[in-house]
Amino acid sequence: MFSYPNIDPVAIALGPLKIHWYGLMYLLGFLVAWWLGRVRARDEARGWTAAQVDDVIFYSALGVVLGGRVGYTLFYGSQQYLQDPLAILRIWQGGMSFHGGLLGVLLAMWLFGRRYQKSFFATTDFIAPLVPLGLCAGRIGNFINGELWGAPTDLPWGMVFPAAMAEDIARHPSQLYQAAMEGALLFGLLWWYSRRPRPLMAVSGCFLLGYGIFRGLVEFVRVPDPQLGYLAFGWLTMGQLLSLPMVLLGVFFVWRAYERPLAPQSLKQ
């Protein structure tokens, strides 16, 4: 059993200006995605320029932040945002919804595609492998904030979180599980898979399928948001409910990609 290390959520304090680790993790995620995108764009067969990578990351950042906050208020909303609407802007305090951020990014990719005359799935296939390491950074930010802990466990790596309802009980470090599965593992799978020519829509489908499965599994050992609790059966969470359509769409996209290819199997998607 381990004790939570009580990391100060403030990384740098310069007088009244405080820079939080949570915000830095998001910045790190965007920088890593930008760098990986530049690496993928070096292959001219993909049909992407460095300038387009710069722009798609900018569009994605707007989609993540705006969609993540709006999604959190819709899916996990509490009276806090009704009483204090400006709290929506305080992203360093946590409260970001991946599924809301995903919807925001999809809208941003549609707008980006219209500007650069790229099809929607050509864009999402390109950026899908860039996303997981950003998710990994975000989950590490959750861990530093000491939030989104897991259910009680007697496993040797269980961790006592002081903020967990003031209970001296070892819990699953579910934030680290998600960082490993939705982040590092999913990145490795997508990066490997997308290195070879794939039909249009296949990489996007694999991302949806992989994330939906990994998120659904971790939710079994993660404590649901207190304002919602379990939705049904004593185990179904909002995270699982929102991930189910991702799994179904992922299966459909992969099937559709290989059953009736929409584009030649070349790197230039």
CA gap 218, 131 in Å, rounded: 19
Residue 95 pLDDT exceeds 80: no
Asked if the structure places residue 212 within a domain, the reply is: yes
Identify whether the C-beta of residue 193 lies closer than 8 Å to the C-beta of residue 200.
no
What percent of the chain has pLDDT above 70? 88
Residue 159's DSSP bridge partners are 2, 171
Q: Do 105 and 111 form a contact (C-beta atoms < 8 A)?
A: no
Task: Report residue 2's pLDDT band, with 50, 70 and 90 as the boundaries.
Answer: confident
Residue at 161 is within a domain: yes
Answer whether residue 75 shows pLDDT above 80.
no
With respect to residue 73, please indicate whether it lies within any of the assigned structural domains: yes
Q: What is the pLDDT of residues 194-213, one digit of tens each?
A: 998 899 999 999 999 999 99
pLDDT in tens, 166-183: 578 899 999 999 999 999
Report the distance separating Cα 203 and Cα 209, nearest Å: 10
Q: What is the pLDDT of residue 168?
A: 81
Tally the domains of the chain. 1
Domain boundaries, position 239 = 2-259
- In tens, the pLDDT along 103-112 reads 889 999 999 9
Global pTM? 0.85
Residue 266 domain flag: no
Q: In which band, very low, low, confident or very high, does the pLDDT at 264 lie, cut at 50, 70 and 90? A: very low
Mean pLDDT rounded to a whole number for the chain: 86
pLDDT digits (tens, 9 = 90+) for 230-260: 888 888 988 899 899 999 999 999 999 998 7
Q: What is the pLDDT of residue 16?
A: 83
Q: Is residue 268 part of a domain?
A: no
For the chain, percent of residues with pLDDT exceeding 90 = 56
Residue 265 covered by a domain: no
